[in-house]
Amino acid sequence: MGRITPHARLEPHVQVPALAGEPSGSFIDQVMVVFHPGPRSYTGEDLVEISCHGNPLVVDGILGLIGATGLARLAHRGEFTRRAFLNRKMDLLQAEAVGALIGSTSATGCDMARSLLKGELSHRVGVLRDALAGITAEIESTFITEEEGVDALDIRERILPVKTAIDSLLEGAQESARLYAGISTTIAGAPNVGKSSLFNAIIGSDRAIVHHEEGTTRDVIREHLIIEGVDFIFHDTAGIRETASGPEQMGIEKTMEALASCDLLIYVVDARRGVAPFERRWLSQARRTIIAMNKIDLLEGEPVCESGYETVPVSARLGTGVRDLMTAMARAFSQDRPRVFLDRHILLLRKARRSLDSCLAAAREGLTPDVMAMDIRQAAQELSLMTGENLEGDILEQVFSRFCVGK
């Protein structure tokens, strides 16, 4: 540290104010410096943290000072967390949680990453892995002692709870990536049914231009909103109709793209007219669809619901039913945060489950326990790979190369 500040020695874990600058005396910034000697540091190694003002020019100047000493370099992607993993400060699941937390763009995603970082999944996976290892060891011990072998039915009864636990971990895995990133939500419908008005009522501000002339929304407008703990990324779109040309046609084409890729479609209909025959083909485009029957304040009698789709009557102008619509949106997606949401974890759990399915099939076919032990051992290996035991270098490269920064 004496190369860039007057402090040659620092007390462990104590923040110290210092002036960062060239040995010649040129000043760059007033900083706070703290020394964390290993193993009581993030990486388990000696670590110095420098806090400076956030101006990029100041940061670059201090990085230049550090680099000029020849004692340091810029970290590779995920290198700090990789060192923490290699020094057993965390397991691989927790290391990946750091990357997931840094890369999250939604509050839900941050919650999911924090849960993973706390080690909850690590503990559960460890318990399951140890249970399988214990069963395997018991089977293999009979080969050495030549005692009476383990009964295949007994193995089956002990495997079933492990498989059930893995199934539980995989619950919600299909939509976990969407929850992590935020639910892509498209508001669509025919022209002049009140899409933009409903969009504004949900968002709570005049974000979209509301106009009574047909075809006024020319582009896709995006907003991010948390509803009852679920992140929704909204897309307000141009009206859909069978014939259009020019700029409006371009807007409709963007709407079609949004429909094809969205997780949730809020299809807005004028309650006085109901769903037109040509509109029915759009309703099935998204993974999930909710029909918002708008303008119920102008309707005499009850709106006609479209069979097979949840329908919520609303008045965007008066705000009637908007809260019910938002509740229906949140209800359409899991309120329980999936414990497993990263692709690598999902893949390994599915492999472990397949191995246990093979083991159970062997039990049904009356095969010997030694055959079943092979499948059990393979399932335990897949679980070990989740926490980072016996990993090959190329897998580590794949994991940490996904980090966007040196952290």
- Domain range annotation of the chain: 16-74, 104-171+340-390, 178-331
Predicted confidence band at 225 (pLDDT cuts at 50, 70, 90)?
Answer: confident
Name the CATH superfamily for 178-331: P-loop containing nucleotide triphosphate hydrolases (3.40.50.300)
Q: Rounded CA gap, 365 and 22, in Å? A: 76
Residue 312's pLDDT is what? 94
What's the pLDDT at 153?
A: 78
Mean pLDDT, to the nearest integer, of 140-148? 67
Q: Do domains 16-74 and 104-171+340-390 have the same CATH topology?
A: no
Over residues 277-287, the mean pLDDT reads 82
Six-digit token pair at 406?
Answer: 């040196």
> By mean pLDDT, which of 10-14, 150-154, 177-181, 249-253 is the weakest?
249-253
Q: Among 127-136, 147-156, 200-209, 381-390, where is mean pLDDT lowest?
A: 200-209
Question: Which fold is adopted by the domain 104-171+340-390?
Answer: Four Helix Bundle (Hemerythrin (Met), subunit A) (1.20.120)
Task: Measure the CA angle with vertex 146, ends 140 and 150; round to 5°.
Answer: 55
> CATH number of 16-74: 3.30.1360.120, 2.30.130.10, 3.40.50.300, 1.20.20.10?
3.30.1360.120
Q: Look at residues 246, 281, 245, 285 and name the one whose alpha carbon lies nearest to residue 265.
A: 285
d(Cα 398, Cα 9) in Å, to the nearest integer? 38
**Six token digits for residue 23:** 């040995």
The overall average pLDDT reported for the chain is 84
Over residues 335-347, the mean pLDDT reads: 83
Residue-level pLDDT at 214: 44
Strands 16-21 and 27-36: antiparallel
Q: Please give the average per-residue pLDDT across 166-183, as a whole number.
A: 85
Cβ partners under 8 Å of residue 164, min gap 6: none
pLDDT for position 10: 84
pLDDT tens-digit readout, 83-109: 999 999 999 999 999 999 998 888 888
For residue 212, is pLDDT > 70?
no
Collapse the DSSP code of 358 into the 3-class scheme (helix H, G, I; strand E, B; otherwise coil) and give the result. helix
Percent of the chain with pLDDT over 90: 43
Whether pLDDT at 55 is above 80: yes
Higher pLDDT, 273 or 261: 273
User: How close are the terminal C-alpha atoms of the chain, in Å?
Assistant: 21
Whether the pLDDT of residue 211 is over 50: the answer is no
Q: pTM here?
A: 0.77
Which residues lie closer than 8 Å to 399 by C-beta, 6 or more apart?
78, 92, 95, 96, 99, 344
Mean pLDDT over 294-308 rounds to 84
